[in-house]
């Protein structure tokens, strides 16, 4: 599990060490971690350190201090080093060390941003150490000009010091311009803003470097399940199970207009481990669903027993919408878990049970919040994903899974998970229907066994109030892994994601036995 913290949490954890006069030691550890990361990055490309060049863009705070000390270490190891001071002044001790190690210094001013960008862009590595966790807002003036010019010149390797300058370490909001990093070296712990969009999109790979304050960290603001975590909680049928104890999922999806959504979600649920799938919908749609997944059962009348529901993919027309309304009311009364997607999101009651999982994309999340009279657009949600997913969980009382390149899952208890195993090729029609099917299958399975104190989530130390959000994170992770496996770098269809799901389960099961 990767835990991420807000910059504010990290600064609070550092405070006792700073009070004890350990600030300089922390900074040295950070600088060594950053310098080592730069060395490894060059070596991974088969480059020699000696004679390679690095420029550090240094702001006036401690972030700039880290960058300058790291550059001093690299200068002593034979690299040609340059510093651009973006705020006129810099951390005095670090600047002294940099000068003593033989680095060249330029001071950014009103007139030289473009000239300096051209000078720097050819260097082997650029370290972005302008702003860290002490930033308020983003870059302006000549520093912003420098970043815009540099981004256009496409520097070879950008390594961000702690956080890309302009990314809010607490929220992942981005104040443009930001220099997109290949690697972000995060001191003490990963910042929450590096695991939520749009911040994650600027950070590249994130490498946490311990600096000695990690034992003082509070509960994380965000968590990301690793492959090992997902493998550990994956439902694993015992020897004497049968289809009903495996978990039966009821699906209300599809319509005459959107038959594919029903077919995809039913098939995805079937391959993702549901013991049985009951389909509720018009006969014409059911025929196509069964053609693709003959294992599913069509329920033309009162449905048989289920452990969980999936409602919404491709939902359209009076009859289907009424069916979904009836099922939601019945599921609420019976205390059953429900995965609510697309068209069914409009049918939700004002407050939902905490074991319902809502799966909006950014546009649907904006609409969902609009019902609670929070007026936001899709673009607003996309620029503040962490804030709005939390708000939606708070307002609805349900788990809210916000889809995107990084999928965020907020529990009404306040816990947030972030998964990012997918790839851009997954932004294809029907991809969300497949996610719905996977989540539905997991909900049915975990409803039957899994959420108790002797279940897999408890064994991983996940608190009761966070378990449904963790289950949704497992679904997002499997969906992302299946999409990436199906894509292998190329385009894919939603059906390809479905076909890749059993392979992902097998690989995870193998992981578990290792
Ligand atoms: N507290 C510590 O001793 C440690 C801090 N560390 C580093 O220190 C960083 C935090 O340092 P600071 O608190 O000095 O803050 P920063 O270095 O992030 O920046 C703060 C400085 O930039 C100015 N500033 C803020 N927003 C600005 C904006 N939008 N445009 C231009 N200037 C702006 C502030 O006035 C202040 O002078 C961390 O990200 C990390 O890199 C590490 O060295 C570990 C130890
Ligand atoms: N750029 C991206 N990178 C990775 N995954 C993505 C990206 N864009 C979308 N996805 C994933 O694809 C799915 C799209 O779902 P959705 O928007 O509901 O599409 P549809 O309604 O067509 O099925 C979600 O699971 C989302 O997380
Ligand atoms: K930085």
Confidence of residue 296 (pLDDT cuts 50, 70, 90): very high
Does the C-beta of 30 come closer than 6 Å to ligand 1? yes
Q: What integer is the mean pLDDT of 198-218? A: 96
Confidence of residue 222 (pLDDT cuts 50, 70, 90): very high
Residue bearing the bigger pLDDT, 113 or 235 = 113
Say how far apart CA 446 and CA 505 lie, in whole Å.
Answer: 16
- At residue 298, the 3 state secondary structure works out as strand
Q: Is 314 annotated as a binding residue?
A: yes
pLDDT in tens, 82-119: 999 999 999 999 999 999 999 999 999 999 999 999 99
| CA-nearest residue, atom 15 of ligand 1 | 134
Indicate whether 321 pLDDT > 80: yes
Spell out the alpha helix ranges (H) of 45-127. Answer: 62-76, 92-100, 113-121
User: How much distance in Å is there from the Cα of 432 to the middle of ligand 2?
Assistant: 6
Return residue ranges of the chain for CATH 3.40.1190.20: 228-513
Q: Which residues line ligand 2 (CB under 6 A)?
A: 361, 403-405, 407, 422-424, 426-427, 429-433, 435, 479
Q: Count CB neighbours of 45 within 10 A.
A: 11
**Closest Cα to residue 166, out of 156, 155, 152, 151?**
151
pLDDT in tens, 113-162: 999 999 999 999 999 999 999 999 999 999 999 999 999 999 999 999 99
Q: Is 81 annotated as a binding residue?
A: no
Confidence of residue 514 (pLDDT cuts 50, 70, 90): confident
465-489 burial, b for 16+ CB within 10 Å, e for fewer? ebbbbbbbbbbbbbbbbbbbbbbee
Say how far apart CA 235 and CA 112 lie, in whole Å.
Answer: 60
Mean pLDDT of all residues belonging to the chain: 97
pLDDT in tens, 376-421: 999 999 999 999 999 999 999 999 999 999 999 999 999 999 999 9
ipTM of the complex: 0.95
As a whole-number percent, the residues of the chain with pLDDT over 70 amount to 100
pLDDT of 464: 96
User: How much distance in Å is there from the Cα of 41 to the middle of ligand 2?
Assistant: 31
User: How much distance in Å is there from the Cα of 59 to the middle of ligand 2?
Assistant: 37
Indicate whether 372 pLDDT > 90: no
Q: Are strands 248-252 and 338-340 parallel, antiparallel or unpaired?
A: unpaired
DSSP per-residue codes, 64-76: HHHHHHHHHHHHH
Task: Identify the architecture of domain 228-513 in CATH.
Answer: 3-Layer(aba) Sandwich (3.40)
pLDDT of 178: 98
Indicate whether 449 pLDDT > 80: no
Q: Which atom of ligand 2 is nearest to the CA of 361?
A: 17
DSSP per-residue codes, 434-489: HHHHHHHHHHHHHHHTTSSTTSHHHHTT--GGGHHHHHHHHHHHHHHHHHHHHHTT
pLDDT of 236: 87
Q: What integer is the mean pLDDT of 297-322? A: 96
Q: Are strands 407-410 and 399-402 parallel, antiparallel or unpaired?
A: antiparallel
Q: Is 184 annotated as a binding residue?
A: no
CATH 3.40.50.10260 fits 2-219, yes or no: yes
Indicate whether 373 pLDDT > 90: no
Return residue ranges of the chain for CATH 3.40.50.10260: 2-219
pLDDT in tens, 458-493: 999 999 999 999 999 999 999 999 999 999 999 999
Confidence of residue 448 (pLDDT cuts 50, 70, 90): confident
């Amino acid at each position: 599990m990767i835990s991420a913290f807000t910059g504010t949490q990290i600064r609070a954890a550092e405070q006792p060490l700073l009070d004890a006069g350990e600030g300089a030691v922390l900074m040295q550890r950070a600088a060594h971690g950053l310098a080592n990361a730069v060395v490894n990055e060059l070596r991974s490309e088969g480059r020699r350190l000696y004679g390679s060049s690095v420029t550090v863009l240094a702001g006036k705070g401690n972030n700039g201090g880290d960058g300058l000390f790291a550059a001093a270490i690299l200068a002593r190891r034979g690299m040609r080093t340059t510093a651009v001071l973006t705020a006129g002044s810099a951390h005095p001790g670090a600047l002294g060390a940099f000068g003593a190690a033989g680095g060249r210094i330029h001071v950014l001013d009103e007139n030289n941003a473009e000239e300096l960008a051209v000078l720097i862009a050819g260097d082997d590595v650029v370290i972005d150490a302008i702003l860290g966790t002490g930033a308020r807002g983003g870059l302006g003036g000549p520093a912003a000009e420098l970043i815009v010019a540099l981004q256009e010149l496409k520097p070879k390797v950008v390594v961000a010091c702690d956080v890309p300058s302009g990314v809010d370490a607490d929220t992942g909001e981005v104040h443009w311009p930001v220099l997109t990093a290949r690697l972000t070296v995060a001191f003490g712990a990963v910042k929450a803003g590096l695991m939520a969009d749009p911040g994650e999109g600027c950070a590249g790979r994130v490498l946490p470097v311990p600096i000695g304050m990690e034992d003082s960290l509070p509960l994380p603001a965000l968590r990301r399940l690793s492959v090992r975590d997902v493998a550990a909680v994956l439902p694993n049928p015992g020897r004497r199970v049968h289809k009903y104890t495996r978990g039966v999922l009821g699906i209300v999806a599809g319509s005459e207009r959107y038959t594919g959504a029903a077919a995809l979600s039913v098939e995805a649920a079937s391959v993702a481990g549901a013991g049985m799938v009951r389909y509720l919908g018009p006969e014409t749609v059911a025929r196509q669903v069964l053609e693709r997944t003959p294992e599913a059962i069509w329920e033309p009348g009162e449905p048989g027993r289920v452990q969980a529901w999936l409602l919404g993919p491709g939902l359209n027309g009076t009859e289907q919408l009424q069916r979904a309304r009836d099922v939601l009311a019945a599921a609420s009364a019976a205390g059953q878990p429900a995965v609510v997607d697309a068209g069914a999101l409009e049918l939700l009651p004002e407050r939902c049970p905490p074991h319902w999982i809502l799966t909006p994309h950014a546009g649907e999340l904006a609409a969902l919040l609009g019902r609670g009279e929070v007026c936001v657009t899709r673009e607003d949600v996309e620029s503040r994903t962490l804030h709005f997913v939390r708000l939606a969980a708070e307002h609805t009382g349900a788990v809210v899974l916000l889809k995107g390149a990084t999928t965020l899952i907020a529990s009404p208890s306040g816990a947030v998970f972030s998964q990012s195993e997918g790839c851009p090729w997954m932004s294809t029609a029907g991809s969300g229907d497949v996610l719905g099917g996977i989540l539905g299958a997991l909900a049915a399975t975990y409803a039957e066994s899994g959420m108790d104190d002797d279940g897999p989530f408890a064994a991983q130390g996940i608190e009761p109030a966070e378990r449904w959000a963790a289950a949704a994170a497992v679904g997002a992770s499997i969906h992302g892994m299946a999409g990436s496996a199906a894509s292998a770098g190329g385009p894919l269809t939603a059906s390809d994601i479905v076909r890749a799901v059993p392979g992902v389960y097998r690989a995870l099961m193998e992981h578990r036995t290792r």
